[in-house]
Amino acid sequence: MVGIVVVSHSRKIAEGVVELAREMGGDEVLLGAAGGTDEPDALGTDALRVLEAINDTYSDDGVLVMMDLGSAVMSAEMAVEMLTEDRRAHVMLCEAPLVEGTVAAATAAKLGRALEEVATEARGGLAGKASHLGVGSSDASNGFERGPLVDEGAPVESRIVIDNPLGLHARPAARFVGTVGEHDARIEVENLTAGRGPATGTSLNSLTTLGIVQGSEILVRAWGPGAEAAIAALEELAGDNFGDPMIDEPPDDRGPAQFDLPEGGVAGLAASPGVALGAVRHLRRADPDVPDHNSDDPEHEIADLEKATRGAATEIEGLRAQVARNAGDYEAQIFDAHLLMLQDESLRERAASLIRDKRSNAANALWTVVQESAAELESVDNERLRERSGDLLDVGRRVVAHLMDQPPEVARLDQPGILVIRELTPSDAAGLDTDMVLGIATATGGPTSHGAILARALGVPAVVGLGDSVLAVAEASDIIVDGDRGIIIVDPSPAQREHYEGAARAQGEAAAASREAATEPAVTADGAIIEVAANIGSASEASKAVRAGADGVGLLRTEFLFLGRSEMPSEDEQREVYLAIARALEGRPLTVRTLDVGADKPLTYLHLPTEANPFLGVRGIRLSLAERDLLTTQLRALARVALAHPVRVMFPMVANLDEFMSARSVLQEALNGGKPVDLQLGIMVEVPAAALTAERFAPHVDFFSIGTNDLSQYTMAADRGNAKTALLADPLHPAVLRLIAETVRAAASYDAWVGVCGEIAGDPLATSLLLGLGATELSMSPPAIAAIKDAVRATKREDAFSMAERALECDSGTRVRELLREHAQ
């Protein structure tokens, strides 16, 4: 991977640009800051600091050096001269704009682009500067060409009736498209009930325009070598209701409030329950001011569009991770649909055609196609599917913002209040600061829009579809949002205010009661205590986990201490962070995963070689044992904390007993005859080999913690981060369940306990199954804790054991889910 060094007269600017680029490109990008001088607050540049940063980020793929001005260029040139001759040939100084160029370069580096290509992406960050310096883009690849179709022949056909209540809306449509992409086949779909189609099965937007709702019968045709397998997979997906839970949601035909409005009241649609009082805070979003000039270089415009699409994808992936942490993985799957919209073949081809045939600039072509496609969605005779047009416009705005070098507008407030906005997009909802946004009122949108779904998941009262009049309410005016009745009240009277303040107090008391119940132990119906813990990734999340009712921390990801810096954190620094987390837990156990990085998430100060397949390379415990100073320092820091607080340590990616025994010996060496420490030791069960040989580990470990995310992808040989294979990496597949059962069986023989810390631990549907398999600890994202504790209290172990036996006999994850739903009814 190409490394990137940022040289600035200001240390803060260099570090800030690196932070921004890492946010866009990801932690794995090799980034180094060389700002300022040895004097902390002095402005200037230092060739030795630049030299050090180049060496820290060096790889044989090369290093791109970004500079701000004046002596930064001179210092960078001097640093290159001081390099050894073999390294000097792989370093390039780039004249691109510092901030925009570095961000673009980081995105290209993450994708494994060559040094010249990374530099070209950087120069494209600001076309005016490149033009002024006489630098042209040499990257004419566009990535939009459709490959040859598979051989045609007689199609394989299937008629499928859609049973899930929400129809083929964005999330199930995304799963449909992802499943199609796994097979060497061309797929067409028709809605026989509505007489719409055919549409290609690889286009999310085309599929959505078919208006497929509950009860629709669709005809799926497939051609090519993988046709039969594709049809079978789609039939199985439909049998599982495309992964959608069979739950009741707000009906499509919900209309405005059907009662006498109070004085000052405006009727809308109830989107998220609860009441809120506050001052109006407007966020007005206009359509992007897209340029209409023609382009003389279509291939350059298409390359720019590809780059902007990648940048937008990186942002959306970040939003998905944020929503998964704050609201849960099911809600976060909304952004899987957004990613597929970006990858939509028909959109990209239509935009590329406008660029080539009409000489449109990339921003104008993309926005034209997005508006046309949104209009097609709005013509569908189904309210839920019409609302997907807002998602498409949201994605389009994000790409256009990248093309125009503008930051995407987000719904952030500087002061607490009621957010008033034309439409709440998923991106808006994902970025909500719930301490600032007390409630939401929108002019358009419906209760089943993705923005509304996320608002409900985040617990923010919302009323939508109020009409344009709400946008005319003066800034800072007092307003009440009644998300239960679907109304707002502008400038409420004293009596109205008193009434709703009482309702808000009652709402707060109910929430407090729910939180109080979450802080009580989770005890099964037959008296077994189950530890329900939190997965966290920073010190700031520890107190939030306690407030959410966590019985402890079942997984502390320590990577946040090691990534994004030029040197390893010291023992004292680590101790202070771990100690702060332990204190925040107030005596609850802290389970710490030792550093889990490797060639896919490299540490710049280790100079790790690039690996062809980093997920099967030197990572996790393998890296820690190869770089023992890392492990020794971390274990010493943890041992010091364990002198006064309950600490458990688990080693990641363990595949054989020798690795665990070696890590344990490192701990003994780290203690070096010091005070005895009550430190439980365990392993993460993520590699199938560890589960299959769990009886070898059981005499030596205190516990096993099953990371179902990695265990499922390694068991099924399917990357859970790849939309085309993610469905295969199913933690409820019987093969994964058998590995869990084997681990529990081995642990029971030696009185070791077994926990589960993958995403499935936070799914109430799976709670009784995991308890039936023998797990005694479940660890998850804090928002899921209350629901999981309720699920534990509703479980009888005798029933759970019986269901687990039945699940182990199933032949697919789909059938396991059917079994769990039957049991829940």
Report, as residue numbers or ranges, the catalytic residues: 450, 757
Largest Cα–Cα distance in the chain? 82
β-bridge mates for residue 780, sequence order: 534
Token digits of residue 414: 């500087």
Cα radius of gyration rounded to whole Å, the chain: 28
Report the C-alpha gap between 65 and 17 in whole angstroms.
13
Q: Which residues contact 815 (CB under 8 A, 6 or more apart)?
A: none
Reported as type and span, the H/E element at residue 116 is helix 115-123
Report the C-alpha gap between 165 and 623 in whole angstroms.
48
Report the C-alpha gap between 755 and 760 in whole angstroms.
12
Phi, psi of 206 (to 5 degrees): -60, -40
* Helix, coil or strand: residue 801: helix
Report the C-alpha gap between 21 and 102 in whole angstroms.
6
Q: Which residues contact 703 (CB under 8 A, 6 or more apart)?
A: 648, 650, 680, 682, 747, 752, 753, 754, 755, 777
Reported as type and span, the H/E element at residue 768 is helix 764-773
Question: What is the torsion angle, in degrees rounded to the nearest 10, for the CA atoms of residue 778, residue 779, residue 782 and residue 784?
Answer: -40
Peptide bond into 251 cis (omega under 30): no
Residue pair 291/361 in contact (Cβ under 8 Å)? The answer is yes
For the four alpha carbons of 576, 580, 583 and 589, in that order, the dihedral sign comes to: negative
CB atoms under 10 Å from CB of 667, counted, come to 19
Residue pair 202/149 in contact (Cβ under 8 Å)? The answer is no
* Helix, coil or strand: residue 600: coil
Give, in order, the Cα–Cα distances in Å from 604 to each of 68, 543, 806: 22, 31, 48
Q: Which residues contact 693 (CB under 8 A, 6 or more apart)?
A: 656, 657
Closest to 311 (Cα-Cα) out of 393, 410, 398: 398
Report the C-alpha gap between 477 and 510 in whole angstroms.
28
Report the C-alpha gap between 684 and 535 in whole angstroms.
14
* Helix, coil or strand: residue 260: coil
β-bridge mates for residue 217, sequence order: 161
